[in-house]
């Protein structure tokens, strides 16, 4: 039995991560390109055939947007919980 190709990549994004989407309205064959750079990693995501977006490309872009929306919602939830745990509403009496 042969196995299918497999690859796994984990990226821990810090404050120095660069994320951008480059579009080229006057040169559609050049983009769009979603770029993520973190440390020594440089990842660029684009449709297989730039400038000739297909129904599949659009569906993939929507799945990507849905995943990013879920990611942002979870980060916001965790951030809110962390802010509650770090509540500084207790008066600081150490200077008294």
Position 91 scores a pLDDT of 60
Clarify whether residues 60 and 48 are in a common domain: no
In a domain, 69, yes or no: yes
Q: Give 3-state DSSP helix, strand, coil % of the chain, rounded to 5.
A: 35, 15, 50
The better pLDDT of the pair 56, 85 is held by 56
The total of structural domains in the chain comes to 2
Average pLDDT, the chain: 88
Is 94 a domain residue? Answer: no
Contact 11, 21 (CB under 8 A): no
pTM for this entry: 0.74
Write out the residue range of the structural domain in which residue 74 sits.
Answer: 54-87
Helices (H) then strands (E): counts for the chain: 1, 3
Cα-to-chain-centroid distance, residue 84: 25
Neighbour tally for 34: CB within 10 Å: 16
pLDDT tens per residue, range 64-91: 999 999 999 999 999 999 888 776 665 6
Residue 28 has pLDDT above 90, yes or no: no
Residue 9 lies in a domain: no
Residues 45 and 60 in one domain: no
């Amino acid at each position: 039995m042969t196995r299918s190709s497999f690859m796994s990549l984990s990226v821990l994004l810090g404050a120095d991560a660069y994320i951008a989407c480059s579009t080229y309205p006057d040169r559609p064959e050049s983009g769009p390109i979603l770029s993520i750079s973190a440390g020594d990693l440089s990842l660029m995501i684009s449709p297989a055939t730039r400038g000739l977006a297909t129904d599949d490309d659009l569906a993939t872009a929507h799945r990507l947007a849905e995943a990013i929306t879920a990611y942002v919602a979870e980060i916001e939830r965790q951030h809110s919980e962390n802010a509650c745990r770090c509540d500084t509403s207790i008066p600081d009496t150490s200077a008294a």
